[in-house]
Structure 1
Amino acid sequence: MPILHSLARSVGLPLALALGGCSQLPSPAAAPLEVNLAVINDLHGHVHSGPFSYRPPAGGEITLAAGGIDALSGLLAELRRQDPELLFVGAGDLIGGSPPLSGLWADEPTLEALNLMGLDVSAVGNHELDNGRQELLRQVHGGCASPRPDKACRFDGRHRGTRFPYIAANLIDSASGQPLFAPYHIEEVRGLKIAFVGAVTADLPYLVPRSSMQGLRTLDEAEAINAQIPALERQGADAIIAVVHSGGRTAAAFDRPDCSDLSGDIVGVARRLDPQVDLLISAHTHEGYLCRVGSLPVTQAASYGRLLTHLTLRIDPASRQVLGVEARNLLVDPQHYPGSAEVTALKQAIEQRGRETLGRPMARLGARRVPRRPDAAGESPMGDLVADAQLAATRHLGARAALTNLGGIRGELALEPGQSQVSFGQLVTAQPFDNHLVVLSLSGTQLRELLEQQWQGGEFRPLQVSASLSYRWDASQPSGQRVLPGSLRIDGRPVRDQESYRITVNSFLAGGGDHFEVLTRGAERLDTQLRDRQALIDYLQTRDRGGEPAGRGESARRIGRADAAVATGR
C-alpha cells in the first residue's frame, strides 16, 4: 500500500474485550470488515491551494501550499486505488464565503468539481444559506432561476445541480414542521449499512442574514440527531455517523491522535449524543484535530481543502458492531497528488474564465500589505479600511460612524512583487458577501451596549470601527462594564447616553448577525442598497485619485486596551 504524504499518525480507539472462561478453544473469529471514509469541511469554494502552517515536533513553524481541487482529486484517486468503495463526505460550508474564482459564478464551479470527485453526501453548513433557501435549493437541484442573475448559470450557461444530497436533521421548514433536507443518508459498503445523520449549527440564525432564515428554524443538534436513531435502527444501520457543522478548538497538533483537550460547542453536542453514534465529524471552526470526547471520536479537517480526514471503521461481521475507528488527517499536497484529468481540466477552464475579469487593476494602496489579523485590542488594519470606506459611502445620508464585523472580511490586501495596484479579484476575495449597507439610529446607551456585546460566551468578537469612533476597554472588568467610562467618542466628542447617533453597518449585522442583537432595535433604518464591496472600491479609487492611497500596514489604534494583559506584555 502506498504511503500517503500526511504528516499524520493513526489513532486507533481501543476495544476492551471481556473474555469468559471456557473449556474449549473458540473458533477463529472472522476478520473485521473495514469501511473507509474521506472527509472535508469548510472548503468555501477554494479552487486554488493556499498556505497551511504547522509546528513540527522539532520546533519552529513550517508553511507550505496545500489544497486546491486538483490536488484534492488526486488524493482521492490514491485513496480509491487502495479502496474502491471509499466514501467521500462533506461537513458543510463547501460553498459560500468563497474566493472570486468560485463566488463570481454562484459557486457552481465548486459544486461541479465535487460532483466530478464523487462526493457521496454533505451536511448543510451556515454559509450554504448565505443567499437564502431558494438559492441553495437551486444550487442543489439545478436551474438558473436565481436571486443572483448576474452570477447564476454564467459560468457555462447552465447549472445541473449536485449529484450528492445535503442532509440536516435540525434545519426545519416552519410551515411543514419537517426538515428542509433529508435528515440522514445511508450508504451500503461491503454489505454494511453506513448511516450519516446531518446537522447545521443551532446558532445558524445569528450566522446568516435574517432574510435567509425566513420560514426556517433550527433545533438542538444532538436532540435532532438522537431523534433519528430509532428510524436508523429499524433500517438496520450497522454504523451511525453524526456529521455536524459545528466545531471546537484544541492546542493539539492537527495530526496528534486521540487528543483530549477539545473545547467549544461541539463538545456539548458530543456529550449529549446517543451512545449508538459511533463517530462525530465536525466542522465550522476551521481547525484540524483528531480528538475524543469520552469514548466518541471527534474529527475536523481544518478548512479550504488543505487537509482531508481519512477514517477507517472496523466492524465485526457477526455482531455488526463498530469495534474501533482509525483516524488520520492527511495533508492535501499539490506536489504529491497530481489532479485527475477531469478536475484539472475544470480548474483550467475556471482560471481562463476568471483571468480577464479578476486581474483588472483597481487602485493603489497606502501600504504593500493591509493585514486582516487584529492587534491585541481587537483592531485590524483591514477592519479600519473597510469601516472607513463604509462611512465615506454613507456620510451624505447622515452617518457619523461605521462598524463592521471581521467575519465579513475574508482576507487581507497584499500587493505581489511587481504589482502596483490591487486587483478586482483581490477585492472580491477580501469582501465576497456583497452585503447592503444599512444606516440606523442608536442612542448613546445602545451604542455602548453594542460594544459590550463583543464579549460573548467567553469569546471576544471585536467590531471594526471607522476613524470617527474611538474607545478603550478593560477585559478585567465585569461583563457589561468593559468599555471604560468616558472613553467612547464620536468625532472626538464623548458619546452621551440619550443622544441619537446615525451608524452604518452591513445588512448581516443590521439583522442581529453574530449575536449583535442591539442592532435589531436601531431606529430610522435605511437600507441604502449600496454594496459593501463597491463602497470599498469607490473609497480606494477616490483616495488614489486624490494622491493619498488608503490602507495601512498597522492598525490606527482607534481601540485601546487597558487591562493587565497588555500592560505586562503578555
Structure 2
Amino acid sequence: MVPSAAQAADRHKLANLQLLAINDFHGNLEAPAGSSGTVKEIDPATGKEVATPAGGIEYLATALRQARIPADDSITVAAGDIVGASPLTSALFHDEPTIEAMDKLGLDVTAVGNHEFDEGAKELLRLQNGGCHPVDGCYEAGRKFKGANFNYLAANVTNEKTGKPLLAPYWVTKSQGVKIGFIGATLEGTPNIVTAEGVKGLKFGDEVETINKYAAELKKQGVNSIVALIHEGGFPASSVYNYDCGAAGQGISGPIVDIAKQLDPAIGAIVTGHTHNAYACTIPDPQGVPRSVTSAASFGRLYTEIDLQLDKTTGTIVRPSVKAENHVVRRTLEKAPDMTALIAHYSALAAPIAGRPLGYIAADVNGRGSSALEKPLGDVIADAQLAGLSPADKGGAQIAFMNPGGIRSDLVYKASGTEGDGVVTYGEAFTVQPFTNMMQVKTLTGAQVVQLLQQQVSGLNEAAPKILQSSKGLTYTLDMRKAGAARLVVDSVKLNGAPIDQAAAYRVAANEFLAGGGDGFPAFAAGTDKLVGASDLDLFAAYLGANSSAAAPLAVPAQDRITIIGPGTDID
C-alpha cells in the first residue's frame, strides 16, 4: 500500500535515535574473573538458569561497535563509576588507561558516580581535563595524559563555599537537527559511602530536585528531548539479566523507583547504575505515564540498547517509541585489536608488581560473587585484619570488621595467567582490595559493638542491609523476619564463646572508611583511643603469605559466624 502524502509528511517529522548505555565499569579492562565475570540468563534449550562468561573491554568495544548505527544517530552514555575500585592494570596508573579506553570506545557522556570521588575532586577534574598525576607524575617519558574526550556531568555536586557545580550539570548535542540534553547526577548519599577526604569541600544535593531544576533550564533553552543519567539504582526481583520487571515497575524496588516517579515528565528516558543490577523497566512518571528506566549491571558485562524517536516539530522524545533491552557482552565475540594493544601496553608496565605471588588457595574463595550474607572472602579479609592488628603494639584488636562493598572481586583458583592454579598474585589481591585504606583500631564498649551489628540492618541500612564481615571468634544471629534493629538477636552476640559484655571495653579494627562511620555505621565514629595501622591490602597480603603455602593452601572458610533466620538479602 502506498502511503498518503500526509502519512509521508508525518514520517519525515520523526527521527530515530539510538542510545548505547553502560554503568559501573570500575576499570575492568581485562575480563573479570570468577563469578564477577558472568551474567545469569535462561538457557533457551533447557529453560534453566545458567552463568555465562561476559565482560572485558576487548569484547565490549566489539559489541558496541557492531551495535552502533551511523554516528549522527547514535550516542553512547554511562551512569557513573566508570573508574574507581579498579583492578591493578588501571588503578596503578590512577585509571588513566580506563579513560583512554572509554575514548577509544566512543563514550560521549557520563554521570559521575560515588567512586569517581575516591581520590577527591582534584583528581576527578584531572581525569576530565588532563595533566600528569601531581604525585606520581607522567608514567612514560614524553607522554602527557590528555584527559577525557567524553563529558563528565555532576549536576548535584557543588562547591560547599561557592555553591557552583564541580563539573557541568548537563550536556547538549544534536541528532538530525533535534537538540538533546543529558543531565548527570550521582546519589545524594555519596558522602556516606566515600571517605571524608574524597568529598571534602563538596555538597551533594537531592537527585530529584536537582535534575528537575536543570530540566526546566534546558526547556527554557529550547531543549525538549532530555535524558537523565543517574548513579543510583534499584533491585529487580530476579537476577536474570533480561528479567521483565512488568508493568509500572512492579518487579523492581529501591531508591530509583521513588526518584523516577518524581522526575519531570519531559525526561524521556532514565539510565541508572550503582546497584550493579541488570534491568530494563518502565516506572510511571508524575503523570502516571510509563517511562524507561535501565541499568546494565557492572564491569562491562552488559550494555543497554535504547531505541527511541524524536519529534522534529516539538523537539521532544516520543515516549511510546522508547524501547530498551540489555545485551550480554559475550566472550565469543572477536577481540577489538586496539583494546588488546592497550591492555598489553599497561599490563607490561604493571607486570613486575602485578605478577608477584603472595599465597595459595585450595579452591575459589568468593567475595563479590557470593550470594551469602557472610562471604567466604569476607571472613578471610577480616581474619587478616585481626591477625595483623591483634598484637599489643599494633593496636590490640579483639574484633575486626570489613564492609561488604569493599570486597571487589573473588579469589579464583584457576590460573588467569602464568602463575599456576591456586596461586594468588599481588594483582589478584589488589583487585579484591583496591582502595588501600589505612586500618584503624578503636576502643568500643560492648554496647557499641551491639549497635554496630544493629546498624547493619537498621537506619540507613534497613532497606538495603550491609552485613559486616567479621573476624573469627565473633558470632551472632540475625532474624530477618523482623524489622530494623530488632533483627539482631542481642543475646546471641558472643566473642570466643562468651556473651558480649555491654559494659566492657573492646578493641575493634576496621578500615578508615568504616572507622569514620561510613556506610551507615555511626557507632564506629564514637570509638576512642584510635591507633592507625598498616593498609588493608598490606595486611591481606601478609596474611596470605603467613597462612598458606603450595603444600598447605588456604582453605575456604566454613561461613559459620552469622546465623540467619528467615529470608536473607545480599545487598552491598
Q: Same fold (TM over 0.5)?
A: yes
Q: SS in structure 1 opposite 2:519? A: helix
Matched, 1:387 2:375: no
The 5-angstrom pairing of residues 131-142 of structure 1 reads 131-142=119-130
Q: What residue number does 1:350 align with?
A: 346
CA separation of 1:160/1:565 partners in 2, compared to 1, >3 Å: closer, same or farther? Answer: closer
Structure 1 position 84, deviation (Å): 4.8
Q: SS in structure 2 opposite 1:143? A: coil
Q: What residue number does 1:18 align with?
A: none
Q: SS in structure 2 opposite 1:285? A: coil
Letter of the aligned partner of 1:558 in structure 2? R
CA separation of 1:375/1:72 partners in 2, compared to 1, >3 Å: closer, same or farther? Answer: closer
Deviations 1:259-291 (A, max 9, x none): 332211101110110111111111111112110
Matched, 1:292 2:305: no
Q: What residue number does 2:34 align with?
A: none
Matched, 1:101 2:89: yes
Could you tell me which of 324, 327, 330 is aligned with 2:324?
A: 327
Contact 2:236-2:245 within 8 A present in 1 as well: no
Could you tell me which of 470, 473, 481 is aligned with 1:468?
A: 473
CA separation of 1:247/1:377 partners in 2, compared to 1, >3 Å: closer, same or farther? Answer: closer
Could you tell me which of 338, 359, 366 is aligned with 1:371?
A: 366
Q: SS in structure 2 opposite 1:244? A: strand
Contact 1:108-1:155 within 8 A present in 2 as well: no
Could you tell me which of 473, 495, 502 is aligned with 1:497?
A: 502
Q: What residue number does 1:446 align with?
A: 448
Contact 1:384-1:555 within 8 A present in 2 as well: no
Deviations 1:494-547 (A, max 9, x none): 22122111100001111221111111111122222x110110111121223798
Q: What residue number does 1:189 align with?
A: 175
CA separation of 1:331/1:414 partners in 2, compared to 1, >3 Å: closer, same or farther? Answer: closer
- Partners of 1:258 and 1:486 in 2: CA distance: 40
- Partners of 2:55 and 2:561 in 1: CA distance: 37
Structure 1 position 336, deviation (Å): 3.0
Structure 1 position 172, deviation (Å): 1.5
Letter of the aligned partner of 2:540 in structure 1? L
Identity of aligned residues (%): 36
Q: What residue number does 1:176 align with?
A: 162
Q: What residue number does 2:187 align with?
A: 201
The 5-angstrom pairing of residues 295-314 of structure 1 reads 295-314=290-309
Could you tell me which of 25, 39, 50 is aligned with 1:43?
A: 25
The 5-angstrom pairing of residues 8-87 of structure 1 reads 28-31=9-12, 32-49=14-31, 50-56=37-43, 58-80=46-68, 82-87=70-75
Q: SS in structure 1 opposite 2:400? A: strand
- Partners of 1:564 and 1:237 in 2: CA distance: 50
Q: What residue number does 1:552 align with?
A: 555
Structure 1 position 331, deviation (Å): 2.1
Structure 1 position 65, deviation (Å): 2.6
Letter of the aligned partner of 2:385 in structure 1? Q
Matched, 1:264 2:254: yes
Q: SS in structure 2 opposite 1:513? A: coil
Q: What residue number does 1:153 align with?
A: 138
Q: SS in structure 2 opposite 1:484? A: strand
The 5-angstrom pairing of residues 475-494 of structure 1 reads 475-494=480-499
- Between 293-302 and 479-488, report the one with greater CA deviation: 479-488
Structure 1 position 167, deviation (Å): 0.6
Q: SS in structure 2 opposite 1:442? A: strand
Letter of the aligned partner of 2:367 in structure 1? R
Q: What residue number does 1:12 align with?
A: none
Structure 1 position 208, deviation (Å): 0.6
Q: SS in structure 1 opposite 2:17? A: strand
Q: How many residues align?
A: 535
Q: SS in structure 2 opposite 1:527? A: strand
Structure 1 position 376, deviation (Å): 8.6
CA separation of 1:266/1:478 partners in 2, compared to 1, >3 Å: closer, same or farther? Answer: closer
Structure 1 position 356, deviation (Å): 3.9
- Between 327-336 and 117-126, report the one with greater CA deviation: 327-336
- Partners of 2:80 and 2:466 in 1: CA distance: 23
Q: What residue number does 2:213 align with?
A: 227
Structure 1 position 359, deviation (Å): 2.1
Could you tell me which of 494, 512, 515 is aligned with 2:517?
A: 512
Contact 1:30-1:317 within 8 A present in 2 as well: no
TM-score by length of 1: 0.88
- Partners of 1:311 and 1:477 in 2: CA distance: 40
- Partners of 2:444 and 2:103 in 1: CA distance: 47
Q: SS in structure 1 opposite 2:26? A: coil
- Partners of 1:439 and 1:357 in 2: CA distance: 29
CA separation of 1:175/1:548 partners in 2, compared to 1, >3 Å: closer, same or farther? Answer: same
Structure 1 position 552, deviation (Å): 3.0
Q: What residue number does 2:113 align with?
A: 125
Q: Which runs of 5+ in 2 are unaligned?
A: 32-36, 285-289
- Partners of 2:549 and 2:282 in 1: CA distance: 56
- Partners of 1:352 and 1:375 in 2: CA distance: 31
- Partners of 1:475 and 1:66 in 2: CA distance: 33
Q: What residue number does 2:543 align with?
A: 539
Contact 1:125-1:201 within 8 A present in 2 as well: yes
The 5-angstrom pairing of residues 209-288 of structure 1 reads 209-251=195-237, 253-256=240-243, 259=246, 260=249, 261-288=251-278
- Partners of 2:359 and 2:6 in 1: CA distance: 80
Q: SS in structure 2 opposite 1:67? A: coil
Letter of the aligned partner of 2:542 in structure 1? D
CA separation of 1:61/1:167 partners in 2, compared to 1, >3 Å: closer, same or farther? Answer: same
Contact 1:377-1:559 within 8 A present in 2 as well: no
- Partners of 1:464 and 1:497 in 2: CA distance: 21
Q: SS in structure 1 opposite 2:484? A: coil
Deviations 1:299-358 (A, max 9, x none): 11111111111112201222323222122222223423541x433321221333334432
Structure 1 position 374, deviation (Å): 8.9
Q: SS in structure 1 opposite 2:322? A: strand
- Partners of 2:491 and 2:18 in 1: CA distance: 60
Q: What residue number does 1:359 align with?
A: 355
- Partners of 2:272 and 2:302 in 1: CA distance: 13
Letter of the aligned partner of 1:154 in structure 2? Y
